[in-house]
């Protein structure tokens, strides 16, 4: 790809970490990726809700783990075409959802409300991801967290670009380690963020059909999908619906990747981007879809919001999820000995509430429900 010179991120870059470590046979970003994959938080994603409750008896619905893997695959493909560091992009993509609590965004909203109610700065899965990577994972002899490179942590910190709603943890972390919250994210981080959008829009179409929330005829109201269905049927007249759905998903992903990479080239040339410093100094994000394709993806989002995310069946567990999370939060406030964690010397209410929040947010859907039945419902 002409116009972008991979200067800042190359495979032999000796990137800085929070704690100094000796290099090994891997590149710094390969090492980051491997640590993320081997973390407890990453494994737990297998039993955390993406859209459908992970306890539902359907093996083929996406969960947070399969979603993260699919984001990573799309991100690597795009990085390869653009010519930026695939390993750094993959590390950011794999870690972007580590901080999600049980029950997906519903669980996040409940924890956020609880923490705000008790005078704290809420709960945000992006901040929780950073806390997991730098504090809460306790595996290594010399440090807490995973001791990832600054580039990977910066990519997680700015998953959606410069941090606008800066919370205390953002401010203390950035001040301690010298991160600039107002600066643009790296091109690898931007690729991971767009890959997240592409993945969930395309794969939620697949899961929605599988769940019977809508069918192929319903999807034809979305122009880009209707166009692709016609192309596929013209090419394969005898194709059955199962194969058609897969071809549709595949074609949509390829279309979005091609559009994004073409738009990246345009944005690089228009903004005179030649290196990493140009990227992070640019006021606009370099990794974007074209204006036409943004409208098409918004049409998909709107359809999914009406027919999937706001569907009564999908929302049917909302009240139960609230009962579980709220019930566990107040149970642990009254029974700290049941937390199975060690408190620091600061045993204040503020510290206790955050520890409880950390403990619950680390639970899988299954474990949260199991502990709720055992500790709360049985009383």
CATH superfamily of the 28-177 domain: Hypothetical protein af1432 (1.10.3210.10)
Task: Tell me what pLDDT residue 53 has.
Answer: 63
CA atoms of 302 and 172, how far apart (whole Å): 37
Task: Tell me what pLDDT residue 58 has.
Answer: 65
Kindly report, residue by residue over 169-182, the tens digit of the pLDDT.
888 888 888 888 88
CA atoms of 56 and 314, how far apart (whole Å): 11
The ranges of the chain with pLDDT < 70 are 1-14, 52-59, 342-350
Task: Tell me what pLDDT residue 8 has.
Answer: 39
CA dihedral 257, 37, 140, 167 (to 10 degrees): 50
CA atoms of 192 and 155, how far apart (whole Å): 9
Give me the numbers of helices (H) and strands (E) for the chain, helices first please.
18, 0
Task: Tell me what pLDDT residue 334 has.
Answer: 93
Q: What is the pTM of this model?
A: 0.90
Residue that is written with structure tokens 């069946």 in the block = 313
Q: Are 142 and 148 in contact (CB under 8 A)?
A: no
Task: Tell me what pLDDT residue 111 has.
Answer: 96
Task: Tell me what pLDDT residue 346 has.
Answer: 47
Task: Tell me what pLDDT residue 342 has.
Answer: 65
Angle, nearest 10°, between helix axes 150-157 and 86-95? 50
**Domain residue limits, the chain:** 28-177, 194-314, 318-377
Q: Are 248 and 220 in contact (CB under 8 A)?
A: no
Kindly report, residue by residue over 110-143, the tens digit of the pLDDT.
999 999 999 888 999 999 999 999 999 999 999 9
By three-state DSSP, how is residue 368 classified? helix
- How many Cβ atoms from other residues are within 10 Å of residue 327's Cβ? 18
Task: Tell me what pLDDT residue 10 has.
Answer: 38
């Amino acid at each position: 790809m002409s116009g972008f010179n991979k200067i800042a991120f190359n495979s032999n870059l000796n990137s800085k970490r929070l704690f100094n470590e000796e290099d090994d046979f891997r590149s710094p970003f390969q090492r980051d990726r491997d640590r993320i994959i081997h973390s407890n938080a990453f494994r737990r994603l297998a039993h955390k809700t993406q859209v459908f409750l992970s306890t539902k008896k359907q093996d083929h619905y996406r969960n947070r783990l399969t979603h993260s893997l699919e984001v990573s695959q799309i991100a690597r493909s795009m990085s390869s075409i653009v010519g930026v560091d695939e390993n750094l992009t993959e590390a950011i993509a794999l870690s972007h959802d580590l901080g999600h609590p049980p029950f997906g965004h519903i669980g996040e909203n409940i924890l956020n409300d609880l923490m705000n109610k008790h005078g704290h700065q809420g709960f945000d899965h992006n901040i929780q991801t950073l806390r997991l990577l730098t504090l809460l994972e306790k595996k290594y002899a010399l440090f807490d967290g995973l001791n990832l490179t600054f580039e990977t942590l910066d990519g997680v910190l700015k998953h959606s670009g410069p941090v606008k709603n800066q919370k205390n943890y953002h401010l203390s972390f950035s001040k301690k380690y010298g991160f600039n919250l107002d600066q643009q994210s790296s091109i690898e981080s931007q690729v991971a963020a767009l890959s997240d959008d592409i993945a969930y829009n395309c794969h939620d179409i697949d899961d929605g059909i599988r769940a019977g929330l809508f069918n192929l005829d319903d999807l034809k109201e979305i122009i880009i999908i209707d166009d692709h269905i016609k192309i596929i049927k013209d090419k394969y007249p005898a194709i059955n619906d199962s194969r058609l759905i897969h071809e549709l998903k595949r074609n949509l992903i390829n279309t979005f990747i091609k559009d994004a990479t073409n738009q990246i080239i345009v944005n690089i040339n228009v903004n005179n981007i030649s290196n990493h410093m140009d990227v992070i100094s640019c006021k606009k994000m370099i990794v974007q879809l074209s204006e036409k394709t943004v409208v098409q993806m918004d049409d998909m989002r709107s359809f999914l919001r009406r027919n999937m995310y706001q569907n009564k069946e999908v929302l049917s567990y909302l009240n139960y999820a609230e009962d579980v999370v709220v019930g566990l939060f107040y149970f642990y406030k009254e029974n700290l000995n049941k937390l199975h964690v060690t408190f620091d010397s600061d045993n204040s209410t503020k510290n206790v509430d955050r520890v409880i929040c950390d403990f619950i947010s680390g639970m899988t859907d299954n474990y949260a429900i199991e502990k709720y039945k055992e500790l709360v419902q049985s009383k």
